[in-house]
Chains A and B, each alone.
Chain A
Amino acid sequence: MNKIIQNSKISGNVGKAIIEAPYIAHHRKAGQFVIVIVDEVGERIPLTIADSDREKGTITLYYQIVGTSTHKLSLKKEGEYIYDVAGPLGHPTDIRNYGTAVCVGGGIGIAAVYPIAVAMKEAGNFCINIIGARNKDLLILEQELKAKSDQIIVTTDDGSYGIKGFVTDELKKILDSKKVDIVVAVGPVPMMKAVSELTRTYNVKTLVSLNSIMVDGTGMCGGCRVTVNGKKQFTCVDGPEFDAHLVDFDELMKRLNTYKDQEKESFEKHTCQLEKYHGR
């Protein structure tokens, strides 16, 4: 059981939760994640550890409300408990002084790229952050990232804020104008794929953090398997970061759809119960 210290919506459908988890707060490194079980009947969902406070023993998670588990999480109030948090899991990002680092975050992926960008900056890199979302409402962490970077570029698909267009357009401009030593991209699979295809032509080392569907997060079930360089890899223990140029993104995209129908069923049941509850 982990206590919720703070939980609030920070934009349209993104929540921020600060959760008591002293062990994880103490040990976690950039790039690692936790597995959260919201309540007794809950599933195990992976969420990136965006930040932590060792002294207070807390971790910060950002979650996009897309289905049953994330919606349930959004309903938890300060002082309440969630059933379980396991971690830190996965390999930390290989943080080094590469020279110039570009961190690209799309949608909720901004939350995942945030701790990496901070660590890259702290390691001495010249750090350019590009963040993008479909619209202004979905944009998160702009101020926080701004404070921790040498340059920040913001895009929205619909032009409701920042530059109208995709993160890849802006990344291309940077790649054309200066030498980039590493790119880290986290976001929806199509975005990561597009970034990867772009940087491949420039021959720039690129890391992506994959969002496979997980169960245990310890390498036991193989459900999170992805094909990297033609080989099976488990995202939870071999990743979550991989060399973007070796990842089979199309396969990952298909595997993410495995539970589409059931996720809908679960969410409908869940919201229907909520209506009953509120309607009394």
Chain B
Amino acid sequence: MRQIVVVGASLGGLRAAEALRDFGYEGRLVIVGDEAHMPYNRPPLSKQLLEGTMADSECMFAADSVDADWRLGVGAVGLDLSTRRVRLSGGGEVAYDGLVIATGASARSWPGVPLPATANVFSLRTLDDALALRAAVAEPRRNVVVLGAGFIGCEVAATLRKAGHEVAVVDVAAFPMGPLGPLLGAHCAQLHEQHGVALRLAAEVVDFESDQQSVRSVGLRDGTRIVCDVLLIATGAVPNTGWLRASGLDCDPGIVCDAWCSPSGHPEIVCVGDVASFPSSHANGDRLRVEHWSNAVEQARVAAENLLNGRSTRFDPVPSFWSDQYGIKIQAVGIPAVGKDSALIQGSLESGRFVVGYGRAGRLVAAVAFDYARAIPGLRRQIHAGAAFP
């Protein structure tokens, strides 16, 4: 292979490029990224960067050590599988012998009733998004409304509440952080309420009141009106596959990959991170598409190895992810939603330090720890080995 192109210059693309060099690839490496920034770490965006304890320069990865031709501020707009070329925004194209697709995901746009104004409406996915949101909450005691009680919504709510803003979180779901299940969902709801977040759960947005530029209040089905200076849309993410629409690659909604990270019939292509869907032995027969940090890192390494050496390693990890809220470290291994039942296996809910296990068919399939990090590596091994539960 003489030229490998990596499309996507975030965590997955960077780690894939590093792994290619690590595995001895000495040919040309071109890295294409649609953001103007060198690769940066996204987890601090909803926390330290937003609260101002970390500067944007501190979010940058140490990427200089990778010998590559970086093409930043350039998006991929098309892929020709037969001639092995990636078309770029601005009209150029780049040929490849091997291709790594790591184009990630974008914030899902608001799926509900029409939003009549945009000046104070934000999403949080990129560094620029985070800087814009931070600027919007520069004044004290802003009324912040967060639509979506998933991980990003809850993290932003915690960060901005700690900073003294009035925060309301609205979701149609009955609990925040739905994937953790009702037991921990109720615990998380209590946590946010104790800190003074106004949680509006099982709630539906029916209208936005606005002036010409800005949304001024959010109306709910039950008649509640929530005053709004800053509106954050935190309704999840969608994989960035629009540029592949005419390529013939199967996207459903992520790129459908085999166990070796490649789209069917294309071993010269590997996919990494949020954009890739892959078969899993940990998802009760479903395919997985994982939008978490550790997955991108692990998949990057396996994908790079398979791209260079053929089908050498299957990618079938026990997923893991974490969240930080109010100084509490929440860590998960496995897929809690796969579990049929859950039970406390270490510590106590009252103490705030505990582990909840999730089981299915007599086996441990996932675990979530609150301030109990030391249990996590062992639990991950147990889930991999199919340990008994309860």
| A associates with B | no
Interface residues of A (CB under 8 A from B): none
